[in-house]
Structure 1
């Protein structure tokens, strides 16, 4: 189990109030236990560390700062949050929903899978149009697994100096080993674009090569989630490195109705003309439908109405189709 040096490191980090180092040492002990074949003990230690992080985040123990909060140079590279989002709150296609459920199922059983020489899905690429749930899915995975969500800040990652971006990327992958969580690379095409494109920049090509190398070598317990709206722009080598590529699409007619019902459950009138509403929201993303619902709910409150009517919802959907600009007057339902 724990060596004398590890015990001393635990005590020193506790004495200095360095919660991040305390968690890091505890996870090192868990990793040593796993390598020694004590999988159950290793999992118990990881669960205890996760419990400490949750309680620290909720302010139940220690200070108000969560243990997993990035510090030093990582503070400019990662934004930490503790989502409460659940997969059941999302309106997705059955295929996408089942793919995410499979990730959760495998991750929760990763100790059992390792005992048989198998690995859980941990490296995910989410592709599809904007506003269709990719970012929310990363939050839902973190919420379901009770893990912190670390969003990579590309403005802090990408620099003009040769080699500096790759070095910062290396820090992020080191953090994945030290602090278990969901590490989210949104707008991944910023570093994952095809290396043979005409607009290729040498430094970004080197960053992508480094990312591919780090991703392939990663054997942490963290989830790595990358998302892009531009699947066609990605380098082909990326698809082989991820455990799963999950597709997202705009909601179909039935999903639009379910999304509206969920979003306006306490506002909807009894007699909604769903045929007209489906037509008005055709080809909308999940986010566009949700924003139109929020606008309708606000109009309902500000106009002292008891319920959102079909006419009110059609109005906000039309406004959303026009780019969010409010027309001076809309005649008819």
Structure 2
């Protein structure tokens, strides 16, 4: 009897310890008065903060090779600053992450229109996407689960979509699990849009060395819509099969870099869709900080912060100018609803769409 009681107490203590790595705090209020909360996830190696507005990552702290801890993502200190941010930083973007040509797509012969907000195209779900919604949240072991119900017709997308996004932190690995269901056929492509800077935000990202596990990428038109081709990276500045500094070839005389103003492309990851695989590895030589991205998604959008223009001032008074952050958005390919040769983003009633991405932080000595 005593042993059973002692075992129960120990197991309860272990559970409390695991849950104790997650704390909740109020962060402010939306203009309509709704409260916004922050969940802080802690491990010995990493501290991450998640906000209920936009299901956003708003802080990731980890140490360099000397033990100095710094925030390795761009961000702000107050909710009003986050509400003004138009860069999608840290957010779960949807219902369709990345671009849809002309904001149009067809399902079963019916045409749907999403409001355009990126020249002629729809970007990240339209003008009021998931990044601008208040998600409901509950604490789970080592993390937080956020839920959003997007009604039928939201931004022109069909079907009531239920999206669940769970952030968990174990050791140096920050994991994001996505789960989506619908009551009507729709398209969905959720991703996370964090801007990383492994210097701690003190310098631009041009010195970061990156490797991308991809033999092919999807070239784009002048409006950054994939042409439908799947070009080989070999012999081009898009070849990151071995590590290169981001700034090494970013200004090369190469049409795709000229069109995008740098890197803003989808790489086709080596390995099957739905299986966890390496997407990218990043090393910042001065600090020694590293980031490894693994995912079940078929692609990753590497974005080199081409459109950051200095209009935003982040933590520590740092101006977020061009190339101050990089994004590694694990995803299905842009404009997949209009590209039959791309992996489908169609979700039907009765189906459950899941995907997972893990950001693992470390130090290279």
Give the alignment's TM-score, normalised by structure 1.
Answer: 0.27
Q: Comparing both structures, which one devotes a greater share of its residues to helix?
A: 1
Q: Comparing both structures, which one devotes a greater share of its residues to strand?
A: 2
